[in-house]
Structure 1
Amino acid sequence: MPNSKKQQIKQSFLSTFSEQYAALMPIVNSPMFAEKLADMFKLLIPTNNVMIISNPSKNLPILEYNDLPPENRASIANQYVNGTFLLDPFYLAARKQGKNGFFHLIDIAPDGFEDSEYYKTYFKHSGLSDECGYIIQLADHGEKFIIISLGQIAVSETFTDKHLKCMKDISPLIESLAKQHWLSGEHENETQFDVRQQLETALECFGKSMLTEREIQMVQMILHGYSSKAIAERFNISLETVKLHRKNAYAKLDLSSQGELFNLFINSLINNEHYEGGDPLISYFGLSVVV
């Protein structure tokens, strides 16, 4: 592309961004802010799905804005908030790694993400073909953060390097704007029961009453979207050993596929409204003792 054409595109992007940013400033702290912020992103790059998710320090994620397809918006949103978020690469990057800034999905997702049941059940069910977005830390160590997800729905194209670079370049300004909105006037009850930690503990303990330590490790890695090769490399074991552990874990849980494993995990979380620790499968299967 000729330099003059590139310069025109850059000037157009900056002009649009400047106008939209200026329009957003007066409505910080207003109920319209999240929607108008989403509208700005749709003008800047070819995204037809924006999700803005606030993650309080102790509560479940809050969908501040989403424009998923109307026909499955409610079911996808409910599934995400009630437990699927624990497997979201953006959530894990923010919560477990403390990442902050702009990221493309392929840079933070496990190598086997497209074969994971999270990808097949949630990501593809949402209609997404690509995703990028911002992680904005509102407190240290992944305690409180905002995720702004920019996706493409029902298209085969992915975001171009030009799109990604432009969005990364404005990351400091997006972070500043988001912090002004989500930090000001916030009064979170610090004695509130830690629902988020409760679900994270349930994931960590999933299967402990029925599986060996190594089988639990395999199940955890599979749920998070790691390939058999990546699992083998992580634990310095052979692919055949990984397959054997997976086969044994599936047999003990009476499962035959990764899809059934994913559904068992989600259903065990939903079933445990009053989870107090330990393996959520004990309550789900009605076990009276740990086996």
Structure 2
Amino acid sequence: MEETMEGPGESDIAPAVLAIGRPVFPQALIDTLRRIAGVDHCMVFTFADERTARCLLDIGNIPIGPDLGAAYSSHFHLADPNRDVIFRERASVSPIVLPTFARRMYSARYAKIFFEDADIVDKFATAIWVEHTCFYANFYRTISQGRFNSEQVARLNRIAPGVGATVARHFQAQIAPDHNPFHKLELLFSTIAPLTHLTGREREVCLRILSGFSSEAISADLAISLQSTLTYRKRAYRKLGIASQNELFAIALRLLTSLHGLN
């Protein structure tokens, strides 16, 4: 039986739009996509040229998401059939809705790594070019959910232009040469291990710790209980192999220094 989607209007992406430029953007985006079309996981990549890709966002319920982002960015993007469409439409000023997902479009190796091993059974993708940079957003469904039904696909088609523009607006600052330290921190948590091993909430809590928020302030900003904040912090520290705020700052400083050296 196909799922039915109830709730706010299908084009209501206001929560994601209002979160542009804020640490809560990843969670606001996935929450919006889940509410409107039952999206299980979201990944955003950027292309500046035909040989280079970078993962800007990985959030949702796929545990190996960070590994997929790293593998895609390193070389598998060259085998993505959507890439040809994206670069063919490079002159377009409107968001691009990519072809309907079909497993036969992908090589056996690509399909095994990016679909079978990750339990992904369906995806919807959109891309938008902003001057010389492309932002490529992918929305996934896993085995536990089943494929997108026709109503969900229709909803994704309707919101794709708005979502693409929203994603581009949020991440433009991160990839700009003069992006500020907080945007650099967001980039670290989205792209560099071991920070990419954290869940969305764990990342949000750690970002606020690094920004000087107290536990109480984090709870208020994220609209969660103090106990939840402490739990997310504990889980994050355990995954990072640390036990204190000072050690979190040390990791961030080391990675920021490394990132600066690559620019």
TM-score by length of 2: 0.54
Q: Indicate which of 22, 25, 28 corresponds to 1:33.
A: 25
Whether the aligned pair in 1 keeps the contact of 2:30 and 2:39 (CA below 8 Å) is no
Distance apart, 1:11 and its partner CA: 7.7
Q: Does 1:82 align with 2:74?
A: yes
Whether the aligned pair in 2 keeps the contact of 1:13 and 1:44 (CA below 8 Å) is yes
Distance apart, 1:152 and its partner CA: 0.9
Whether the aligned pair in 2 keeps the contact of 1:24 and 1:37 (CA below 8 Å) is yes
Q: Deviations over 1:161-202 (max 9, x none)?
A: 22111111123322332333233585349xxxxxxxxxxxxx
**CA distance 1:49–1:30, change in 2 (3 Å):** same
Distance apart, 1:68 and its partner CA: 5.3
Q: Indicate which of 113, 122, 127 corresponds to 2:119.
A: 127
**CA distance 1:188–1:23, change in 2 (3 Å):** same
* Aligned-partner residue type, residue 177 of structure 1: T
Q: Does 1:12 align with 2:12?
A: no
Distance apart, 1:59 and its partner CA: 4.8
Percent of paired sites with the same residue = 13
Whether the aligned pair in 2 keeps the contact of 1:34 and 1:52 (CA below 8 Å) is no
Q: Indicate which of 81, 100, 114 corresponds to 1:105.
A: 100
Which position in structure 2 is the counterpart of 1:138?
130
Distance apart, 1:118 and its partner CA: 1.1
* Aligned-partner residue type, residue 55 of structure 2: I
Measured in 1, the distance between the counterparts of 2:125 and 2:36 equals 13
* Aligned-partner residue type, residue 64 of structure 1: L
Instruction: For 1:31-70, list aligned pairs within 5 A.
Output: 31-57=23-49, 59-67=52-60, 69-70=62-63
Whether the aligned pair in 2 keeps the contact of 1:90 and 1:147 (CA below 8 Å) is no
**CA distance 1:165–1:188, change in 2 (3 Å):** same
Whether the aligned pair in 2 keeps the contact of 1:55 and 1:62 (CA below 8 Å) is no
Q: Indicate which of 151, 176, 184 corresponds to 1:187.
A: 176
Instruction: For 1:217-228, list aligned pairs within 5 A.
Output: none
Which position in structure 2 is the counterpart of 1:174?
163
Distance apart, 1:114 and its partner CA: 5.4
Q: Deviations over 1:40-74 (max 9, x none)?
A: 1011112212112233458531232233532x334
Whether the aligned pair in 2 keeps the contact of 1:94 and 1:135 (CA below 8 Å) is yes
Which position in structure 2 is the counterpart of 1:213?
none
SS at match of 1:170: helix
* Aligned-partner residue type, residue 178 of structure 1: V
* Aligned-partner residue type, residue 115 of structure 2: F
Whether the aligned pair in 1 keeps the contact of 2:41 and 2:59 (CA below 8 Å) is yes
* Aligned-partner residue type, residue 101 of structure 1: I
Distance apart, 1:102 and its partner CA: 2.5
The alignment yields a C-alpha RMSD, in angstroms, of 3.1
**CA distance 1:95–1:61, change in 2 (3 Å):** farther
Which position in structure 1 is the counterpart of 2:252?
none
Measured in 1, the distance between the counterparts of 2:76 and 2:174 equals 29
SS at match of 2:98: strand
Measured in 1, the distance between the counterparts of 2:123 and 2:129 equals 19
SS at match of 1:132: strand
Whether the aligned pair in 2 keeps the contact of 1:102 and 1:167 (CA below 8 Å) is no
SS at match of 2:53: coil
Whose radius of gyration is greater, 1 or 2?
1
Gaps of 5+ in 1: 1-8, 190-291
Whether the aligned pair in 1 keeps the contact of 2:58 and 2:65 (CA below 8 Å) is no
Distance apart, 1:104 and its partner CA: 4.6
* Aligned-partner residue type, residue 159 of structure 2: I
SS at match of 1:62: strand
Whether the aligned pair in 1 keeps the contact of 2:135 and 2:164 (CA below 8 Å) is no
Q: Does 1:161 align with 2:154?
A: no
Gaps of 5+ in 2: 179-263
Measured in 2, the distance between the counterparts of 1:177 and 1:32 equals 14
Measured in 2, the distance between the counterparts of 1:62 and 1:158 equals 24
* Aligned-partner residue type, residue 28 of structure 1: I
**CA distance 1:174–1:78, change in 2 (3 Å):** closer
SS at match of 1:60: strand
Whether the aligned pair in 2 keeps the contact of 1:105 and 1:130 (CA below 8 Å) is no
